[in-house]
Structure 1
Amino acid sequence: MVLKNLNYPLDFKFKITTLSSDFNITDNNGNYVAYVRQKMFKLKEDVIVFSDERRAEEMFRIQANQWIDFNASYAITEPGSGKKFGRMARRGMRSLWKSQYDIYDENDQTKYQINEDNAWIKVIDGIIGEIPVVGMFSGYFLNPSYTVKDSSGKEYFRLKKMPSLFGRRFQLDRLIDIDGEDESLVILSLLMMVLLERSRG
């Protein structure tokens, strides 16, 4: 199974009417690509990717291998068969300063890396975020971006946090063509990364 209707850029938009971290992924024409639902009150991350907000068709499941997310790995599987689609792993100690993640295929081979483009944005955002009133508006002008590269350094995608009061919107652009299954694997990894990074502020 692969994600469809991938007319870029894709918008990741979080819902503010739910307690859970639910968000829609839509294409440039406003068509649904996926609806992402993070299960609440779980010791280990458990995320379900549906085809749309009706939640009638479950497309993928993303689950952490441990309840402490420091250096955790997130397995991406297909529902029903439980077939492994790939996984994403955060780079532990190296991510304390600059967020970095590795993306692995179904054979556990490293295919791509996600790198935060400017670590200073996160540092400054953390400082300003502690200032009363002013910190509420940091989401309008402190917006990190992330680039997806392969092992040779070739850039495939760029994900940007868009100006918003509560960090509700992200936009994904594809820079060059990529295989369909790899494309889905990268998008699924990025949506999991967004949930992890957003939970850290």
Structure 2
Amino acid sequence: MSMPPLVPSEIDPFAGSHYYLKRQLLKMIGATFDIYDSGGQQVLQAQKKGFKLKEDIRIFGGPGFQTELVGIFARQIIDFSAAYDVMDARTGQKIGAFQRKGWASLARDEWTVMNAMDQPVAVLIEDQLWMALVRRLLTNLIPQNYDMLVGETRVADLKQNFNPFTYHLAIDCFQPPDQLDRRMVLAGACLLASIEGRQSGG
């Protein structure tokens, strides 16, 4: 007996290799980010809560994007060198964390990617120092480009596509899901989108 085909809500949204994030326009409080797969179908939606002293971002999936899957929470109010915990909303267990390198990020944005025990496992860093410096002078005119590195190996690429009206980010993963947790990659993408929006006044 053949099984019925999977409907989109039953497909694992964290099994892909290519994603595209778009920030919704005209959001007065907080922010909403729609996440699409390589076929152009929306598979996830991230929501940043407004009026929060500490960053609070939730990633939703399922029908109508009503099921909370991942939470991203700042540990402290000041985000100069802030750490952000990434939690599995269904189990309550910690997946990992990101910590921004404050002073280093003034010239070239850099994050430490940690596992559930806060052990460093990767870095998320702007592609080139000279390009990072030019971006700081020309603000939004030069799109951001980040590499996620495990040692010297690039395991993911997060590249902003220029759009004068809103934030678009292409996300490519170069390792299979059992080696590179897509929840961490997409959590990093949501953090970048959220912080970019705040710094640019969005």
TM over 0.5: same fold?
yes
When the two chains are superposed, the root-mean-square deviation of aligned CA atoms in Å is: 2.3
Cα distance between partner residues in 2 of 1:162 and 1:53: 28
* Long gaps (5+) in structure 1: 130-137
Is the contact made by 1:35 and 1:53 (CA closer than 8 Å) also made in structure 2?
A: no
Aligned to 1:163: 162
182-191 vs 31-40, greater mean Cα deviation: 182-191
Pairwise CA distance, 1:82: 2.1
Task: Deviation per CA, 1:41-92: give whole Å up to 9, x if none.
Answer: 1100011110168331000111100010011100111225421111111011
1:143–1:82 Cα change, 3 Å: same
SS of the aligned residue for 1:54 comes to: helix
Pairwise CA distance, 1:30: 1.6
Is the contact made by 1:75 and 1:84 (CA closer than 8 Å) also made in structure 2?
A: yes
Cα distance between partner residues in 1 of 2:146 and 2:188: 12
Aligned to 1:143: 143
List structure 1 segments (4+ residues) > 3 angstroms apart after TM superposition: 5-8, 119-129
Cα distance between partner residues in 1 of 2:88 and 2:176: 24
Aligned to 2:13: 4
Aligned to 2:107: 97
Pairwise CA distance, 1:185: 1.8
* Long gaps (5+) in structure 2: 1-11
SS of the aligned residue for 2:13 comes to: coil
Task: State the TM-score, normalizing by the size of structure 1.
Answer: 0.83
Task: State the TM-score, normalizing by the size of structure 2.
Answer: 0.83
Is the contact made by 1:77 and 1:85 (CA closer than 8 Å) also made in structure 2?
A: yes
Q: Percent identity?
A: 23
The within-5 A match list for 1:1-201 is 4=13, 6-19=15-28, 20-51=30-61, 54-79=64-89, 81-129=91-139, 138-139=140-141, 142-150=142-150, 152-179=151-178, 182-201=181-200
Corresponding residue pairs, total: 189
